[in-house]
């Protein structure tokens, strides 16, 4: 990856910009402003979700951007309370109404249904996925995927799918590398995306990361984002500061060496939420 215009290739041939701009916890007009500023800073990949309650504002920014719609990559996500094909399709229609866009580039199941919250969790995941497959076949969504799925969630889903998920958006950062989940994705040609690649900012205080940042004359955040890219993981950054947006995108003019990567790969648990999908209560 050499710049923000570089892309990963998804299983169906769709290209996805290699660095995304996330909008979680950015609300109301601040979301519109942040997305417009991110686009001006060169970002072409914008990530939102129904539960973020900012799809309307994100859509406004997309429509008013100086960049044509077909040069932007927009993701949203299906929330957990939609458990049937019909509910999932309706939720998608509501997302599109809020965004006011003609199509979506990527739509994800936000969290897997799991046994501690759904006695028929395997059926629920299949129902949701069937809805996404149909919407994809209808040309409403260019690519479809999941979020927060671990290997055992895939194992109960993949035997019944027509389309293997193209993306899995999971929490990944130094100190929480999710080696097993990332390896599973690679094996099945599923692109892993990293939410919270900076571990909610807490990993930036790790002495190992501080040392590597000094070595390369880069920030700790830039080291974490570069680590993701070199591991074949697409990071999603978030900031309302244009200076921070620019800094987060300045990760293409250096490379972590093998010692750096080994150190970061082996970093002990630190930062982030480290959420276990199987024990969540939402």
Domain CATH for 16: 3.20.20.100
In a domain, 72, yes or no: yes
In a domain, 273, yes or no: no
Which pLDDT does position 46 carry in this prediction?
98
In a domain, 232, yes or no: yes
- Domain span at 112: 7-267
Q: Count of domains in the chain?
A: 1
103 labelled catalytic: no
In a domain, 52, yes or no: yes
In a domain, 213, yes or no: yes
pTM, two decimal places: 0.97
In a domain, 19, yes or no: yes
Task: Please pick, among 52, 103, 107, 184, the residue that the annotation labels catalytic.
Answer: 52
Cβ neighbours of 16 (radius 10 Å): 22
By C-alpha distance, which of 71, 43, 80, 75 is closest to 59? 75
Q: What are phi and psi of 198, to 5 degrees?
A: -100, 10
Tokens 């996404």 locate to: 132
Residues of the chain with pLDDT under 70: none
């Amino acid at each position: 990856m050499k710049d923000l215009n570089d892309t990963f290739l998804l299983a169906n041939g769709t290209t996805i910009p290699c660095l995304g701009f996330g909008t979680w916890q950015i609300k109301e007009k601040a979301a519109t402003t942040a997305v417009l500023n991110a686009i001006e800073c060169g970002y072409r990949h914008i990530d939102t979700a129904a539960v973020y309650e900012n799809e309307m504002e994100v859509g406004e920014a997309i429509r008013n951007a100086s960049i044509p719609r077909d040069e932007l990559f927009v993701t949203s996500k299906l929330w957990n309370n939609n458990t049937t094909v019909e509910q999932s399709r309706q939720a998608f229609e509501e997302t599109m109404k809020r965004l006011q866009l003609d199509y979506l580039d990527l739509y994800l199941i936000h969290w897997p249904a799991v046994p501690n919250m759904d006695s028929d969790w395997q059926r629920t995941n299949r129902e949701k996925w069937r809805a996404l497959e149909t919407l994809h076949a209808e040309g409403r969504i260019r690519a479809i995927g999941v979020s927060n799925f671990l290997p055992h969630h895939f194992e109960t889903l993949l035997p019944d799918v027509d389309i293997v998920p193209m993306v899995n958006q999971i929490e990944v950062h130094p100190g929480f590398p999710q080696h097993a989940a990332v390896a599973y994705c690679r094996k099945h040609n599923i692109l892993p995306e990293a939410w919270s690649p900076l571990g909610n900012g807490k990993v930036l205080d790790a002495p190992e990361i501080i040392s590597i940042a000094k070595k390369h004359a880069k920030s700790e955040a830039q080291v974490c984002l570069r680590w993701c890219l070199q591991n074949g993981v697409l990071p999603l950054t978030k900031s309302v500061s244009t200076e921070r947006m620019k800094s987060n995108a300045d990760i293409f003019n250096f490379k972590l060496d093998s010692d750096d990567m080994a150190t970061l790969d082996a970093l002990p648990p630190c930062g982030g939420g480290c959420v276990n999908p199987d024990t969540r209560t939402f």
